[in-house]
Amino acid sequence: MKTAVVALGKIGLPLAVQFADAGHEVVGVDVNPRQVELINQATEPFPGEAQLQEKLSELVPAGKLRATTDYAEAIPGADAVVIVVPLFVDDASWEPDFAWMDAATRSLAEHLSPGTLVSYETTLPVGTLRGRFVPMIEEISGLKESKDFFAVFSPERVLTGRVFEDLRKYPKLIGALSEEGSRRAREFYESALSFEERPDLHQPNGVWDLGSPEASELAKLAETTYRDVNIGLANEFALFAQDNGIDVYKVIEASNSQPYSHIHQPGIAVGGHCIPVYPRLYLSTDPLAQTVRTARTLNASVPAKLVERAANLLGDLQGMKAVVLGASYRAGVKETAFSGVFPVVEALREHGADVAVHDTFYDEDELRGFGWEPYRIGESADLVIVQTNHPEYREISAADMPGVKLIVDGRNITTAAHWAGTPRLVLGDGSASTHQTPDQA
Query: How many whole angstroms separate alpha carbon 108 and alpha carbon 205?
Result: 32
Alpha-carbon dihedral sign for residues 408, 411, 417, 418: negative
Where do the H-state alpha helices sit in 204-289? 213-243, 248-255, 278-285
**Which CA distances in Å does 358 have to 37, 86, 102?**
32, 28, 38
Q: Tell me how long the chain is.
A: 441
Phi, psi torsion values for 373, nearest 5 degrees: -80, 125
CA 257 from chain center: how many Å?
A: 28
Helix (H) or strand (E) holding 67: strand 65-68
Angle between helices 290-314 and 278-285 (to 10 degrees): 140
Is residue 121 helix, strand or coil? coil
- 160 and 10 Cβ atoms separated by less than 8 Å: yes
Angle between helices 341-350 and 290-314 (to 10 degrees): 50
Query: How many whole angstroms separate alpha carbon 359 and alpha carbon 351?
Result: 22
AA letter at 36: V
Angle between helices 12-21 and 52-59 (to 10 degrees): 50
Which is nearest to 20 in space by CA: 75, 50, 70, 58? Answer: 58
The catalytic residues are 220, 274
- 69 and 108 Cβ atoms separated by less than 8 Å: no
